[in-house]
Amino acid sequence: MDAIKFIENELSPISDLPSFKAGDTITVYYKIKEGNKERTQHFQGTVLQRRNPGANETFTIRKMSGGVGVERIFPLASPAIEKIEIVKHGSVRRARIFYLRERTGKSARIKERKFTKK
């Protein structure tokens, strides 16, 4: 089993993506194919979770669109993802922040992570 996981990790294009975790606000640019046309669409929101480490890793993003919460699950090794931009780093205490689903307005805000200079 370790040999299979080793090969999966070697062949996956995950290494060129930025590192992010739950609580971060990111923008995902991904390709959409409609017939024979192809266009790029972006989805910006808060990362709720990352799961399944390795080649099968996925992450869930949530955003509010017209007062309705929209969640989308992306596979990290998907060839449809063009790039991922980190808008801001959030400071949360949990790896899965599903409690944001019940919150709206000011209570749904996440503090920004502060980095110290060395």
pTM for the model: 0.82
Torsion sign across C-alpha atoms 116, 26, 59, 46: positive
Amino acid identity of 57?
A: E
| pLDDT given at position 13 | 59
CA distance 46 to 112: 12
Q: What order of strands is seen across the sheet that includes strand 68-75?
A: 68-75, 58-65, 37-51, 25-34, 81-88
| pLDDT given at position 51 | 94
Architecture in CATH of 2-108: Roll (2.30)
pLDDT tens digit at each of 118 positions of the chain: 678 777 766 666 566 788 999 999 999 999 999 999 999 999 999 999 999 887 788 999 999 998 899 999 999 888 899 999 999 999 999 999 999 999 888 898 899 988 776 6
Sequence spans of domains, the chain: 2-108
